Amino acid sequence: MPVTRGFHRRRPEPERGRLPPGQYDTGASWPVLSAEATPQKPEESWTFSIDGLVESPHTWTWQELHAVPGSTYFGDIHCVTTWSKFDMTFSGVSVDDLLDVAKPDPAAAYVLAHSVTGYTTNLPLADVTGGKAWVVWSVDGKPLPRQHGGPLRLLVPHLYFWKSAKWLSRLELMTEDRPGFWEQNGYHDRGDPWREQRYQGDD
């Protein structure tokens, strides 16, 4: 590919191995991206469910979720629009602990995350188990702002951030993969930033 005449790196070179290909460090800012209107449903009436291919479909109230032993992620996030943000702290509960209650059927292989807005995103079950995914309500010690998906969002930081559904209401377990909102609109089914899986057709 040709070099762009007159273009040079202006940002300092990031720590080696930290920035996936095609990404830049957004620094202190945290861009907001969403495709739909921000829901105003109050947090005290929020519920979260796991259903579909599970032995015991379960719904947690806002208070019940907070009674689950907490879990925190500290690390980086990567948005498909090319910004990455380093050293974020998100707190909530591990998806593993919630799945332990719902007991996935052995045939379950994929998850569709649902938002109260109707937004959906699909993920392999293996990408939300084994300590790789959280359901979170706080960031950097403060309640997660509405514009960033508060009061409750999915967090799957090893994949592009559209997989971390904002305003999360439900995880549906499935045998077959079923494309979610952006995935139907041309984005990748898995979305691994290190393999630069941005769009359908990327490796």
Partner 1 sequence: MAAWSDGRIIEKDQPTPTTVRLRLHVDDRPHHLPGQHYILRLRAPDGYTAQRSYSLASDSDDPLLELLVERQPDGEVSEFLADVAEVGDVLELRGPIGRWFVWDTKSRVLCLVGGTGVVPAVAMARTARRLGRTDLLRIAAMGRSRDELAYASELERYGATLAFTRADVDGRTAGPFTAAELTPLLEGVDLGYVCGSARFASYAEDLLVACGLDPGAIRVERFGPTGD
**Looking at 13-167, which runs of residues are DSSP E strands?**
24-25, 47-52, 58-61, 71-78, 83-94, 110-115, 120-124, 134-139, 142-143, 153-155
Restricted to residues 14-43, the positions that interact with partner 1 (CB under 8 A) are: 22, 24, 26, 29-39
Binding mask 118-137 for partner 1 (x = CB under 8 A): x-------------------
Cα(127)–Cα(134) distance, rounded to whole angstroms?
Answer: 11
Checking phi first, is residue 126 left (phi over 0); if not, alpha (psi -120 to 50) or beta? Answer: alpha
Does 138 sit near partner 1 (CB under 8 A)? no
| Smallest distance from partner 1 to CB 172, Å | 20
Q: Which of 56, 72, 175, 185 binds partner 1 (CB under 8 A)?
A: 185
CA count, 13 A, side-chain hemisphere, 103: 2
Nearer CB in complex with partner 1: 143/186: 186
Q: Using the structure block, give the residue that is written with the tokens 């109260």.
A: 116
Instruction: Report CA-CA distances (Å) from 63 to 68, 116, 153.
Output: 9, 18, 16
| Smallest distance from partner 1 to CB 115, Å | 12
Restricted to residues 43-102, the positions that interact with partner 1 (CB under 8 A) are: 81-82
| Smallest distance from partner 1 to CB 40, Å | 9
Q: Which of 3, 42, 44, 87 binds partner 1 (CB under 8 A)?
A: 3
Nearer CB in complex with partner 1: 1/107: 1
Does 199 sit near partner 1 (CB under 8 A)? yes
Token pair belonging to 171: 């995880």
**DSSP-H helix ranges across the chain:** 62-67, 95-102, 181-184
Q: Binders of partner 1: how many residues, by CB under 8 A?
A: 42
CB 69 within 8 A of CB 97: yes
| Smallest distance from partner 1 to CB 18, Å | 14
Does 140 sit near partner 1 (CB under 8 A)? no
Interface residues with partner 1 (CB under 8 A) are 1-11, 13, 22, 24, 26, 29-39, 81-82, 117-118, 145, 147-148, 181-182, 184-186, 199-202
